């Protein structure tokens, strides 16, 4: 799939902007703080329904305005989709697909699939488990919208259960009704995550082997909070989840928090048997993320039947020449958007088809198009 056009009105530092994109490679070049990432963020908003930089929709509205508007025209193998997002400082955002308003945000997912790679993604490897859960949640929701709904349901039940635990003042009460619901949706989340990680791990391993000329073996494992076996089915997982909840109940009541369940899941990344988080060099960590991102592209292609679009926000300068080359060479069939402050180090061969935009203080002009 590809984005043919984007239109922005009062979005961040753009008054009004319309851009036609190249079907292959689009490079946005400009100094810091000019508005390059804002364009990528707008594309992401139309794909996922939120920003990758903030949880507050209002921040995307131009500071001195009350509302903002983004529209993208998406071309898929078999049809075209127009996605519009209207942000308002006072009201919830409105999303339209082909002019029809959505009643559930989840229905947006799958209309425009996207893989984002930014320096922030190193957090997936380096930082705490919440970054890895965010990665799983974002990716699985895109390929399996029912995951998104199950996750929302699980989080609501979790909130309720936590509230009961928090308000507990020595009175007798029963958590069992919440346990049953938590376990039901939580078990599905675990099954979806386990399947997803199994598939992405294999793809990332093959890519990593290629990038490192066979020197490094990347392993990615699902580290589920509920101790289950690899081949356990729904009922077995559910029973183990319930058992673990029961065992932890005293501790939970003492801590007044739900300590058991997939909201505490994690993923483990290893290179040649050693955990990348603790033992990997900076370069190895970057390469592992690159392998993961390329694996995401292939996984989405396998699921959806066509490649998602790829946003590379400021990452080229983080990769050495060899990795840049590998990336560019492997993106031939993927519509790609690159932001960069300097164009020279990019290994874009002259022959390669692309469109080059300069971004300066909320204005964009096309420099070249091949
Ligand atoms: N809500 C807003 N209203 C107006 N301007 C905004 C708003 N949010 C951000 N900006 C402006 O947008 C600019 C930053 O844009 P962006 O993050 O796209 O920069 P960039 O070109 O990607 O820079 P860098 O190379 O540093 O990453 C800044 O000038 C900032 O003041």
Q: 120-305: same fold as 1-113+308-370? A: no
Q: Does residue 32 line the site of ligand 1, with CB under 6 A? A: yes
Does 33 count as an annotated binding residue? yes
Spatial contact of 286 and 207, defined as CB atoms under 8 Å apart? no
Residue 37: CB within 6 Å of ligand 1?
yes
Say if residue 346's pLDDT is above 80: no
The atom number, within ligand 1, closest to the CA of 38 reads 18
How far does the centroid of ligand 1 lie from the alpha carbon of residue 12, in Å?
7
Helix (H, G, I), strand (E, B) or coil at 334: coil
Helices 176-211/129-143 angle, 10° precision: 90
Q: So what's the pLDDT on residue 347? A: 61
Report long-range pairs for 280-287 (Cβ below 8 Å, ≥24 apart). Answer: 280/125, 283/320, 284/216, 285/122, 285/125, 285/126, 286/122, 286/318, 286/319, 286/323, 287/208, 287/211, 287/212, 287/216, 287/323
Ligand 1 closest atom vs CA 64: 3
- Per-residue pLDDT averaged across 222-251, rounded? 95
Distance (Å) of CA 196 to CA 136, 193, 235: 8, 5, 19
| Closest ligand 1 atom number to CA of residue 40 | 18
Dist. CA 215 → ligand 1 center (Å): 40
The residue ranges of every structural domain in the chain are 1-113+308-370, 120-305
Q: Does the annotation place 36 within a ligand binding site? A: yes
Take atom 26 of ligand 1 and give the residue whose Cα is closest: 32
28 CA closest ligand 1 atom index: 21
Is position 34 annotated in a ligand binding site? yes
12 lines ligand 1 (CB under 6 A): yes
338 lines ligand 1 (CB under 6 A): no
Q: Residue 14's pLDDT is what?
A: 98
**Computed from CA positions of residues 185, 187, 191, 197, in that sequence, does the dihedral angle turn out positive or negative?**
positive
Strand-pairing partners, residue 8, are 17, 70
52 lines ligand 1 (CB under 6 A): no
**Residue 284 CB–ligand 1 contact under 6 Å:** no
When mean pLDDT is compared across 13-22, 39-48, 173-182, the lowest value belongs to 173-182
Could you tell me the distance, in angstroms and rounded to a whole number, from the CA of residue 60 to the centre of ligand 1? 10
Q: Quote the pLDDT of residue 321.
A: 84
Query: Does the beta carbon of 314 sit less than 6 angstroms from any atom of ligand 1?
Result: yes
Give residue-wise pLDDT tens across range 165-220.
Answer: 888 765 656 788 889 999 999 999 999 999 999 999 999 999 999 999 999 999 99
The token pair that represents 188 in the structure block: 């599905």
Task: Write out pLDDT tens, residues 257-316.
Answer: 999 999 999 999 999 999 999 999 999 999 999 999 999 999 999 999 999 999 999 988
Pocket of ligand 1 contains residue 35 by CB under 6 Å: yes
Pick the CATH number of 1-113+308-370 from 3.40.50.300, 3.40.140.10, 1.10.3260.10, 3.30.1490.190: 3.40.50.300
95-102 own/partner pairs: CB under 8 Å, 24+ apart: 95/49
Q: Is the CB of 38 under 6 A from ligand 1?
A: yes
Which residue's C-alpha comes closest to atom 5 of ligand 1?
Answer: 13
Please tell me if the CB atom of residue 40 comes closer than 6 angstroms to any atom of ligand 1. no
Whether 68 has a binding-site annotation, put simply, is no
- Work out the percent of the chain whose per-residue pLDDT is above 90: 83
Q: Which fold has domain 120-305?
A: Glutathione S-transferase Yfyf (Class Pi); Chain A, domain 2 (1.20.1050)
pTM summary value:
0.93
Residue nearest to atom 16 of ligand 1 (CA): 35
Confidence at residue 102, expressed as pLDDT on a 0 to 100 scale: 96
Q: What is the mean pLDDT of residues 4-31?
A: 97
Q: Is the CB of 63 under 6 A from ligand 1?
A: yes
């Amino acid at each position: 799939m590809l984005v043919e056009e984007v239109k922005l009105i009062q979005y961040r530092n753009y008054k009004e902007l319309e851009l036609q994109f190249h079907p292959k490679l689009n490079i946005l070049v400009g100094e810091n703080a000019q508005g390059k990432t804002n364009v990528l963020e707008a594309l992401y908003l139309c794909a996922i329904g939120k920003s990758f930089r903030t949880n507050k929709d209002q921040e995307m509205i131009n500071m001195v305005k009350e509302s903002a508007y983004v529209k993208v025209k998406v071309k898929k193998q078999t049809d075209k989709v127009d996605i519009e997002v209207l942000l308002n400082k006072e009201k919830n955002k409105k999303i339209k697909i082909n002019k029809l308003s959505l009643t559930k945000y989840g229905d947006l997912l799958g209309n425009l699939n996207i893989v984002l790679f930014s320096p922030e993604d190193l957090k997936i490897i380096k930082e705490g488990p919440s970054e890895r859960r965010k990665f799983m949640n974002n990716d699985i929701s895109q390929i399996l919208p029912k995951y998104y709904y199950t996750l929302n349901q699980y989080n609501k039940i979790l909130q309720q259960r936590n509230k009961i635990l928090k308000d507990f003042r020595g009175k007798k009460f029963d958590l069992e009704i919440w346990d049953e619901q938590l376990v039901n949706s939580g078990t599905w989340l675990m099954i979806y995550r386990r399947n997803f990680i199994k598939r992405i791990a294999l793809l990332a391993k093959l890519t990593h082997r290629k990038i490192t000329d066979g020197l490094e073996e990347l392993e990615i494992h699902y580290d589920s909070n509920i101790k289950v076996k690899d081949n356990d089915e729904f009922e077995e997982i559910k029973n183990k989840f319930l058992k673990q909840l029961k065992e932890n109940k005293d501790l939970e009541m003492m801590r007044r928090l739900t300590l058991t369940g997939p909201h505490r899941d994690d993923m483990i990344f290893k290179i040649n048997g050693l955990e990348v988080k603790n033992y990997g060099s900076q370069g190895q960590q970057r390469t592992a993320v690159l392998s993961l991102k390329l694996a995401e592209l292939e996984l989405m292609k396998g699921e959806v039947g066509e490649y998602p679009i790829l946003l590379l926000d400021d990452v080229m300068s983080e990769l050495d020449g060899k990795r840049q080359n590998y990336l560019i060479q492997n993106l031939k069939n993927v519509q790609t958007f690159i932001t960069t402050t300097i164009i020279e180090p990019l290994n874009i061969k002259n022959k390669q088809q692309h469109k080059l935009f300069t971004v300066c203080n909320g204005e964009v002009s096309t420099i070249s198009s091949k």
